[in-house]
Amino acid sequence: MQSLHALIRAVPDFPAPGVTFRDVTPLLADAAAFARCIELLAEPWHDAGVQAVCAIEARGFIFGAALATHLKAGFVPLRKPGKLPPPVVAMTYELEYGRDALEARADAFRPGERVLIVDDVLATGGTLGAARALVEQVGATPVGASVLIELAALPGRARWGEALPLHALMRY
């Protein structure tokens, strides 16, 4: 098995000039590496009483569903608007280039349910923050977040804050 870092492909100037896209598909294609990745992402949460894992569309679903299985927890997808049947709850958030929103089924979480938030990449923190706010809005309890990659030069970790743990498997 190659190192996990070696399986993340840097694609310069994609999707826009000056952006380096982190392609996770080589990692996903290596069964042993993907299994190890899930083990490492789950490590800090084994004793956290996680009852549900929610993950952000789309690549977050890959890691979130596998983590939920590993942690023996339920899985809740957080989707872009219009992808879930009603009733839904929504959270709008700011992006560098506009606004977006996440939705969850209104009954996706039980009150007080302990929820781990998962995404593939933490950049500016807007999406992860919206996921946290959405979990809180429906009365569940976020226990923290796990991401595959943190882009350390961007303010995502600072925006997340220190009140809840944030686990990043790799930093670039």
Residue 151 counted as domain residue: yes
Distance of alpha carbon 109 from alpha carbon 105, whole angstroms: 8
Respond yes or no: is residue 136 known to be catalytic: no
Stretch 29-37: mean pLDDT? 97
- Distance between terminal CA atoms of the chain? 21
What is the pLDDT of the chain when averaged over all its residues?
95
Q: Which of 59, 105, 110, 159 is catalytic?
A: 59
* CATH assignment at residue 148: 3.40.50.2020
Summarize pLDDT for 101-157 with one digit per residue, the tens. 999 999 999 999 999 999 999 999 999 999 999 999 999 999 999 999 999 999 999
Distance of alpha carbon 92 from alpha carbon 139, whole angstroms: 17
Summarize pLDDT for 118-129 with one digit per residue, the tens. 999 999 999 999
Residue 94's pLDDT is: 81
Residue 112 counted as domain residue: yes
Q: What residues make up the domain containing 152?
A: 48-171
Tokens 């030069």 found at: 153
Residue 87 counted as domain residue: yes
Q: What is the pTM of this model?
A: 0.95
Residue 17 counted as domain residue: no
Residue 96's pLDDT is: 66
Respond yes or no: is residue 96 known to be catalytic: yes
Number of domains in the chain: 1
**Residue in 22, 49, 117, 46 with CA at minimum distance from that of residue 77:** 117
Residue 149 counted as domain residue: yes
Residue 61 counted as domain residue: yes
Residue 36 counted as domain residue: no
Q: Is it true that the peptide bond before 48 is cis, omega within 30 degrees of 0? A: no
**Residue in 46, 1, 43 with CA at minimum distance from that of residue 26:** 1
